[in-house]
Chain A
């Protein structure tokens, strides 16, 4: 493994962590926006309690990934920033509004009562951000980021390419919603009715993401051949795992096995992301940059690996403590702890 490949693996692991952790926080926003029924308020409370202590830490994976990308693959980063300016900017606006809205609502509720406009902003931004991050991922995977000499641009070969990209955006939103619903099944253990609400939502999200995922494969065949070739080339074993695991995850959700369902859905997201990563190896941005051709000088890569190693030694135990304290037993009382400091 070259150093560039090692860095690529670290960044893809970070993307995976961001997807399964912060993805669920976006999904929480989706379910907050569409909260309905007699337990509407209880649903929103469960979402806020689950996100409160961890969402900011989950969010940092994105920053780490961006920084790692511009440190170790500066040319590719610049090319993506130019060709995908619009989706990244909109996703960024979504990320800002989502985070601020959540904080305003969570910390402001006791002082000012429900802050409704920010509630709607929180939900809407939680859809916009993963959609446009998915769009950026779809555009990159479809081989639409073209670099010719110093000219970088987004080129869609056919309307089907755009359909594929839009599908990936929707797929990302559906997966976020799916992750959130299964996590919330675990968080609401002990409250049968509330848990059933999230179980129903998980089933809906499972079906939606299944349909969008399969549609993505077909659209990739028609309009995004590089992505299709990746998934059915080197990525095939992981794609098969995803296709087998998908129905199993749905069964676990259907039979209300929260912890098993959570594991299966995390595995599903991981399989999908790694099928793409392994599939397009050795490319970073197809067809212009491979991991090695886009890599920064060796000294920088070595430095990044050292900084990452030392950083992880500090980070991982801290993350363990955070999740142990808030996601161990009886997770739901964390919010009460904050609002009623003894």
Chain B
């Protein structure tokens, strides 16, 4: 395999692994803070107990997130030195700000995890707030750099040399508002449904105590609020891409021909030989309507762009439909769940519903990963859109295969051990009760 492929697989695996822990680092502190706050003000032992459980799990999850995030900061240079040489001075400031946010998160997490007896109850609860704020800030800062890769701004390129660098314009580029907001709410979507899943799975095994019901309710509250916002922000993201990155948009929809009144394709496989999507559900004029609020709006097709400048529409279209499809189902699930709560005045415990809820967490993570597939595969063949091709950015060093295998084995070991530890925590709790 060539270095470009090896570097892409290594980077993709590292990002895909880290993001699961990163979103929990954004979302869990909010739940922790709320649970401990309720426990404190209402003098409620069940909420307090939930906060303690989550604190223990969060200790492990945050550590794995921290070390896997370190891998990424190194890999930017180790795998993509030419990309960093070009763009370090432009995307570096959000990264630096993220460094401080991460610093604060680690410091206050140390105080939180180890400070249960050293700090007064109120002071302890207060340490959860900077964790939640800096977790969210980290996500916003880091995604700014990805937004810049999609919409490079804040500089001029003269004979291959970067000049007139404006780091603020680079950080707050046109893609930042849509990408930042969509990623932030997606972090809460994933956290909310993952937490709900854990408690739904416990309830399926017969544990219907107050802690489980409240854990499920807390997760589904975050899930409902966040999935609604994910719909709104996702919609503005897609419409931004329609104008900003037409090849990505065409790939998302499997659109080969430029059309007025373009149909929306749900599912199916885009095939160049068919100049369209096969086996998909077609909604006439749907795409034009969604993209521009105009049933006759023009949607540019992949054919308009040279073959060398097109992303792979199969990957991008299927990823996009996976994200939107699962997101829609999660939204429906949240509405049904809260509808049942409202009607029955209690947390529903029907088995079929619990089974679906237990699957919702993994589904939310898959939706988020699929969303990143859309962003990243959709930007190809560019690493910096329109400026630097991915193929030109990879490192020339030998030995990438060995480092790829090493990291794959490490991620496997970390995933297995983390899962095992979290299960053992739950097991120990159950025995203690």
Contact = CB atoms under 8 A, between A and B. Distances in A.
Asked whether A and B interact, the reply is yes
Interface of A: 52-54, 56-57, 59-60, 62-64, 66-68, 70-75, 77-82, 85-86, 88-89, 92-93, 95-97, 99-100, 102-104, 106-108, 110-112, 118, 296-297, 299-300, 303-304, 307-308, 310-311, 314-315, 318-319, 321-322, 325-326, 334-338, 340-342
Interface string B403-416: 10011001000100
Nearest to A81: B77
B100 A315 contact: yes
B89 A63 contact: no
Interface of B: 52, 56, 59-60, 62-64, 66-71, 73-74, 76-78, 81-82, 84-90, 92-93, 95-100, 102-104, 106-111, 113-119, 130, 162-163, 165-168, 395-397, 399, 403, 406-407, 410, 414, 417-418, 421, 424-425, 427-428
Nearest to B422: A111
B73 A63 contact: yes
Given A54-B110, A70-B76, A74-B84, A81 B92 contact: no
B119 to A, nearest CB: 7
Return the 4 tightest CB-CB contacts between A and B, nearest first: A71-B92, A74-B88, A103-B63, A81-B77
Nearest to B76: A70
A300 B165 contact: yes
Contact of A96 (B71, B102, B418): B71
A303 to B, nearest CB: 4
Given A63-B102, A81-B77, A315-B100, A300 B395 contact: no
A338 B114 contact: yes
A102 B62 CA distance: 12
Contacts of B109: 56
A233 B417 CA distance: 51
Contact of A71 (B85, B95, B115): B95
A139 to B, nearest CB: 14
A41 B115 CA distance: 24
Contacts of A299: 165-167
Contacts of A70: 76-77, 84, 88, 92, 95
Given A68-B96, A307-B93, A326-B114, A112 B103 contact: no
A74 B76 CA distance: 11
Contact of B88 (A77, A307, A340): A77
Contacts of A60: 99, 102-103, 106
Contacts of B100: 64, 307, 310-311, 314-315
Dominant SS among interface residues on chain B: helix
Contacts of A108: 60, 421, 424
Contact of B108 (A102, A103, A318): A318
Given A56-B63, A86-B399, A96-B70, A337 B118 contact: yes
Contacts of A71: 88-89, 92-93, 95-96
B410 A96 contact: yes
Given A107-B59, A337-B115, 19 more contacts: A52-B113, A53-B113, A53-B114, A59-B66, A60-B102, A64-B96, A70-B95, A71-B88, A74-B85, A79-B81, A81-B84, A89-B406, A108-B421, A118-B417, A299-B165, A300-B89, A310-B100, A311-B100, A336-B117
Contact of B89 (A53, A74, A103, A335): A74
A314 B104 contact: yes
A127 to B, nearest CB: 17
A170 to B, nearest CB: 23
A85 B397 contact: yes
Nearest to A342: B117
A298 B103 CA distance: 26
B306 to A, nearest CB: 26
A311 B63 contact: no
Contacts of A93: 406-407, 410
A79 to B, nearest CB: 8
B85 A75 contact: yes
A82 B3 CA distance: 13
Given A57-B110, A341-B116, A85 B93 contact: no
Contact of A111 (B118, B130, B424): B424
Contact of A296 (B64, B74, B89): B89
A187 to B, nearest CB: 14
Contact of A300 (B93, B397, B410): B93
A293 B75 CA distance: 24
Contacts of B66: 56, 59, 99
Contacts of A95: 67, 70
Contact of B97 (A52, A103, A307): A307
A221 to B, nearest CB: 31
A112 B424 contact: yes
A62 B66 CA distance: 12
16 contacts: A56-B63, A56-B109, A64-B99, A64-B103, A68-B99, A70-B84, A72-B89, A79-B81, A81-B74, A95-B67, A96-B70, A99-B63, A111-B427, A118-B417, A307-B100, A325-B118
Contact of B70 (A57, A59, A107, A118): A59
B78 A89 contact: yes
A341 B424 CA distance: 18
A156 B66 CA distance: 34
A97 B71 CA distance: 11
A315 B103 contact: yes
Contacts of B82: 78
B168 A57 contact: no
Contact of B115 (A56, A88, A100, A325): A325
Contacts of A68: 92, 96, 99
Contacts of B107: 57, 315, 318-319, 321-322
A297 B114 contact: no
Given A78-B84, A92-B71, A322 B89 contact: no
A104 B417 contact: yes
B404 to A, nearest CB: 10
Residue of B68, B78, B96, B407 with most chain A CB atoms under a 10 A cut-off:
B96
Contacts of B73: 63, 66-67
A326 B71 contact: no
A332 to B, nearest CB: 12
A82 B96 contact: no
Contacts of B166: 299
Of the candidates A86, A99, A341, the one having the most CB atoms from chain B within 10 angstroms of its own CB is: A341
